[in-house]
Structure 1
C-alpha cells in the first residue's frame, strides 16, 4: 500500500518543493492535478505528451525524491451542458488518459459528471430524491442519453490505454454512492472504470465506507484519505442537505470552476465539514478502512486530500500524514 497526498493543496509550491514536503512527512505517493476544476501546476502536460525525454526527466524527479506518481487527477464535470465547461473538462479527461498511458501511471481520478435535466439545458441538474415521476424522467434522460454514451467512450479509451479511471463518488454527480457506481459500470460493461474510495463524501450521506469497500470489492481502484466531522448540534437543525452556502466576494478571488462558475463559501456553522484524517474519525474507522482497502488491493494508493479550512497547508498535511501512517501501522499494512 502506498500512502501519499494529492498535491492540489500545494499548488503555490514548485513540484520539487512539493515532493520534498511529502517525503519529509514520511509519504511515498503523489497524485497530481491535470485539469478539470483545477489547472495543472505540477505537470507540464504538453511537453510530456510530446517528448519521451521530457517524460523520463519528469519521472526522474519523483525517483530522486523517493516518491511514486500513483495518480493523475482531473476532477471536473465532463457532462456539464454549459458549453464553456463540459467540453473542456471532457477533453481534459481524454487527454489525461493519454498522458497517463505515456507516463506509465495506471490510475486517473475523476468524477462521473452531471448533465442538464433535458435536451437543450444549459445548467447541470442534480435530482436528490426522484419521488415524483417528472424527476425520474430527468434521471432517466441523464443516464440514457448523456452519461452512458460518454462513459462507454471513456471505458474504451481507458481499456486501450491500459489505465483505470477511478470515479470519486461525489454528490452533485450522477455517481455519488456505491449503487450509482455499479449502475455506471454495469450499463457500460466497464472493465477499466471503477471507484476512487473517498470516505469524506460518504460519511455525511450516512454511508459506511468500510461496508462500501467490501460491497464494491475489486471495483475499488484507488483511495483518498480525507475525513469529515459531523457537527451534531447543527445537523439537528439544518440536516445534512445544508444549503446555507454564500457567494465568495470578488475581492477574495473566488476559485473559478469553469465558465462563470466559482466556488462558494461554506456556512459559518456547518452541519458537517471536511477535516484532516483523524479529526472526524479515529483509529476505530481508519484502521479497518485501510485493512479493507488492502484486502481489495495490497498495492492500492491512498492519497491525502487536504481540505481542512481550520488548518493551513503544511499543518493540515502534517496532521493527516501522522494519523494516516499511525493507522496503517496499527492495521498492519
Structure 2
C-alpha cells in the first residue's frame, strides 16, 4: 500500500510548493481536487485539457518528486434539482474523467448525488425511513428514474475512458452504505466502486472493518480515505446520529470529524489496514483532514505519524510456515 493525502487542505499553497511539502513529509501519493466541493486549486481540468504542454509539465512535477496521483476528486451533486449545480457537477465529472485518462490516473472520486422527490422538486430529498410509505415510494422513484439511469450512462463513459468511479459513502447522498453501493454496482457495472471513508461509516453506525469485508469480496473498493470520527455518547442520546447541527457546534454535536487516531484507537485502524489487505486492496490510503480541533499542519502531521507505522507496503510472500 501507499500513503497519500487529499491536497484540498493545502489549497493555499501553490501547486509545486504543495508537492514539495507532501514529498518532504514522506508520502507517496496525492489526491487532487478537480471541481465541485473540492475546488480546482491544484488541478484545473479546463487548463490542463486545453494545453498539452501544461499537462506534461504538470505530470512531470508530480513524478519528479517521486509521487503519484491516486485519484482526481470532483465531489458534487449531478442529480440535484438545482439545475445550475447539477450541470456544473456533471461537467466537472466529465472533464475529470477525460483528464484522468490523459494523466493515467485510474480513479475518479465523487458522490452519487441526491435527486429530489419528483420531477418538479426544488431541493434534494434523502429518504432514510421506510414508513410512512411515501418515503419508500420516493426512494424507489429516485433509483428507477434518476440514480440508475445516470450512472449506467456515465459509468459506461468512465469505463470507455479506462477510469473507475469511486463513490464516497457519505450521508445525505443516495449511495451512502455498502448495500446502496452494491445495488448501483449491480445495475451500472464494476466501474462503480467505493471511495471508502470510515469517518462517514462510523457516524451511520457501520463498522468499517465489516464494510471493507462486504465490499472487498466484490472487489468494490477503488480508493480509501483516512479520516476519523469522535462519537460523543451523551450527545448521541440527545441528538441522535443524524445530528443536524452545524459542525461548528463542537461541544454539543453527537459526533465530530477528527484526524486519524483521535476518534478511534490505532487498534481499530490496524484492523482496517489488515482488512484492506485481506480483501486484496493494495492501493493508496489517502489522508483527509477535517479536524476542527487541530490546525491544518498539526492534524496532517498527526495523521502521518499514526499511519506510517501501520501501513503494510511490502508485497505478500509465500507462507513459509505452511
| TM score, norm. by length of structure 1 | 0.90
Is the counterpart of residue 309 in structure 1 residue 310 in structure 2? no
Asked whether the 8 Å contact 1:19–1:65 carries over to 2, the reply is yes
- Single out whichever of 123-132 and 297-306 deviates more from structure 2: 297-306
Task: Report what 1:327 is aligned to.
Answer: 310
Give the Cα–Cα distance (whole angstroms) in 1 for the partners of residues 128 and 250 of structure 2.
20
TM-superposed CA distance for 1:267, in Å, is 5.1
Contact 1:195 1:219 in 2 (8 A): yes
1:295 is matched with 278
The match for 2:158 is 158
Consecutive unaligned residues in structure 2, runs of 5 or more: 317-322
The yes-or-no answer on 1:207 pairing with 2:190 is no
Paired position in structure 1 for 2:235: 234
Aligned residue for 1:269? 252
- For residues 78 and 321 of structure 1, what CA distance do their matches in structure 2 show? 33
Q: Is the 8 A contact 2:2 2:313 kept in 1?
A: no
Counterpart mapping for 1:31-110 below 5 A: 31-110=31-110
Q: Residue 285 of structure 2: SS of its match in structure 1?
A: strand
1:318 is matched with which residue: 279, 296, 301?
301
2:179 corresponds in structure 1 to 179
Q: Does 2:3 align with 1:7?
A: no
Q: Using structure 2 for the length normalisation, give the TM-score.
A: 0.93
Cα distance change, pair 225–122 in 1 and its aligned pair in 2 (3 A): same
> Within 2, Cα distance between the matches of 1:237 and 1:298?
38
The answer to whether the 8 Å contact 2:16/2:61 transfers is: yes
- After superposition, the CA RMSD in angstroms is 1.7
Partner of 2:319: none
Whole-Å separation in 2 of the counterparts to 1:164 and 1:88? 20
Gap runs ≥5 in structure 1: 246-263
